[in-house]
Amino acid sequence: MRHLAFLALFALAAAPLFAQDAAPPPEPPKPAEPEPKFDPFAGDSRRRVKMTLEDCVRAALDSNLDLKYSQLEPELFRGDINGFKGPYDPIVYVDGTRSSSKKAATSSLSGATILDDDLWTAAMGVKGTWFLGTTYDINYQASRDATNNTFSTLDPRWDSSVGFSLRQPLLKNAWLDYQTLSLRVLENSYKSSVHHVSQDTIGTLYSVELSYWTLVNAIRQKAVKVRSLEVSQRLYEVNRNKVKAGALAPIEELRAESDVAGRREGIILAANDIENAMDDLRHLIRPFDQPSDWDFIIEPADDPTFEKQAVNLDSSVNEAIATRPELEQLRLSIETSKLDQKRYERELWPTLDLTGSVRYSGVGGNLGDSFEQLRTWDFSSWSVGVIFEYPLGTHGPRGALIRAEAQQRRADLALRSQEQGIVLEVRSAARELNSGAERIEVTRKATELARRALEAEQARYDRGLSTSHQVLQFLTDEETAAANEAKAVVDYKIAELKLRKATGGLLKERASR
């Protein structure tokens, strides 16, 4: 009996163990459902357009009106360069005149009592200027002279001649280098305008990306305020129920209701910030013909990500000095000032020009006879001469020279000042990027601590150890910390943007795509 009792007790004690081994394993806990993504445009019936940052950048490069306006500037100087050659284009000309005169005879040898003369003249040729400063004229002339002069052997008399004349400057305005000075100035202006387009392109890329992240930040700020409003509303409902039950003073309900109203105001202001940011972005990427063209919602598809970057300050500064387009513009301005000085120095020289002409002629009773005689080249004339001019006053070119020298000095100083400004810009952007990374870590920790403090205070309030006023203070602290964290991540993206702009990387990125 004693053994049977022991076996019965052992079976009763071991039964739960066998039952536990035989039971099926417990099901794993179900994962929590993800929190629905915040929709800042809930209830808005306007058309939505989801756009990545790259979508916005491409739209701006294709459609931005200010950028299109800037891109036409090089075309202006291309026209000027083409127009520079205009004075060197040959000119074909044709001249014709008729003159008639009647004069009383003043001598018995006049050939008639009243001299009646009728003269037709015509000329055709090519004239122009060469790049050496040489002016030339190649022409053919013909004339018909009818007269009642009895001493004239031919009536009418036809004259034909062909000739060539030129004038070559030897000092002032002479030779190819002087003639092309203005062309080189125009070419520098064209290059400068190209760099100006690059500068405007960088500005547009910067503005688009800045506006995009500003919109993202505005949406994130509204999300923080909406979450805080939800907590505030729940507290208000709890207080209202407690007041109805007589477990809480009415002032606590009023305080909670006032907090709800204040947070709703914050959401209204946040929604206004979103609309302002969208307008800035719309203006950059989509010009409108009608105001209704902007009646759509831009939904950013990219979220700001944080990946800490190491910045090499020296290489960043060197890259900026080598690539920033505004520095290239100033260097071209210095070169242009030197060209202007050279031109005005040459204009101070005296004029010393060599002239020369050759002409062959023929005469006959009709045009054919005069032309036949011309073809024999028997009758010719030539001339060679020198023209010298020395100005007694040189106020014009000397004043222009003084101005060009001052412009060069100013451009030198402007270049140095711009280089220093770019160095400061790079250093500032690098510091902002480094501090931004530290700021993200700090704000994340602050948000976590503020959220835990709020939860603890809510638990104390549920046990009657705190007041709604204290809970609302902790809620405000949590909202501020969360807003700072959201903004810190966006600010880090903006700091990266500033550094890429400062070093000229924005343009290099587009060129590599």
d(CA 11, CA 5): 10
Element (H, E) at 126: strand 114-129
pLDDT above 70 for 11: no
What is the extent of the structural domain holding 54?
Answer: 47-79+183-338+401-511
Q: Is residue 126 part of a domain?
A: no
Is position 486 within any domain? Answer: yes
Q: What is the pTM of this model?
A: 0.79
Separation between Cα atoms, residue 385 and residue 304, nearest integer Å: 80
Query: Does 22 score more than 50 pLDDT?
Result: no
Half-sphere exposure (Cβ direction) of 363: Cα atoms closer than 13 Å? 9
Quick check: 3 pLDDT over 80? no
Q: Which of 58, 53, 71 is nearest to 510 (CA)?
A: 58
**In 3D, which of 219, 251, 248, 253 has the Cα closest to residue 237?**
253
In this prediction, residue 294 carries a pLDDT of 82
- pLDDT value at residue 511: 76
Identity of the residue numbered 132: L
Per-residue pLDDT reduced to its tens digit, 134-147: 999 999 999 998 88
- Read off the tokens for 208: 């688009």
Average pLDDT, the chain: 87
- Across the strands, what pairs with 135? 129, 167
Residue 76's pLDDT band, with cuts at 50, 70 and 90, is very high
Q: Does residue 387 contact residue 203 with C-beta atoms inside 8 Å? A: no
Tokens of 114: 């009243």
Domain assignment of residue 378, yes or no: no
Q: State the average pLDDT over residues 90-119.
A: 80
Please indicate, yes or no, if residue 187 is contained in any of the structural domains.
yes
DSSP code of residue 97: E
Q: How does strand 296-300 pair with strand 47-51? A: parallel
- 182: pLDDT strictly greater than 80: yes
Tokens for 64?
A: 């931005």
Q: How far apart are CA 174 and CA 186, in angstroms?
A: 19
* C-alpha to C-alpha distance for 296 and 46, rounded to whole angstroms: 6
Cα separation, 406 vs 496, in Å, equals: 39
In the block, tokens 């040729």 appear at 125
Tokens for 88, please give them: 């060197």
3-state SS class at 65: helix
Higher pLDDT, 231 or 22: 231
Residues 305-358 have pLDDT tens digits of: 888 888 889 999 999 999 999 999 999 999 999 999 999 999 899 999 999 999
358: in domain: no
Overall number of domains in the chain: 1
303: pLDDT strictly greater than 80: yes
| Cα distance from N-terminal residue to C-terminal residue, the chain | 94
Residue 387 is assigned to a structural domain of this protein = no
Tell me: the pLDDT tens digits for 29-45?
444 444 567 888 888 88
The pLDDT value given to residue 20:
42
User: Mean pLDDT, to the nearest integer, of 210-224?
Assistant: 95
Q: Looking at residues 149-159, what average pLDDT do you find? A: 78
Select the more confidently predicted residue: 106 or 420: 420
CB–CB of 97/118 below 8 Å? Answer: no
Residue 54 falls within a domain, yes or no?
Answer: yes
Q: Are 351 and 172 in contact (CB under 8 A)?
A: yes
pLDDT at 292: 77
If pLDDT is split at 50, 70 and 90, which confidence band does 16 have?
Answer: very low
CA pair distance 297, 387, nearest whole angstrom: 76
Percent of the chain clearing pLDDT 70 (strictly above): 90
Give the chain's radius of gyration (CA, Å): 46
The pLDDT tens digits for 424-460 are: 999 999 999 999 999 999 999 999 999 999 999 999 9
Q: Tell me which residue of 468, 463, 422 sits closest to 316, measured CA to CA.
A: 422
What gap in Å lies between CA 47 and CA 390, rounded to an integer? Answer: 77
Domain of 325, CATH number, reads 1.20.1600.10
Nearest to 93 by CA among 125, 141, 120, 121: 125
At 197 the pLDDT is: 95
| DSSP code at position 294 | G
Does residue 344 lie in a domain region? Answer: no
Burial call 75-110: b when 16+ CB within 10 Å, e when fewer: eebeebeeebeeeeeeeeeeeeeeeeeeeeeeeeee
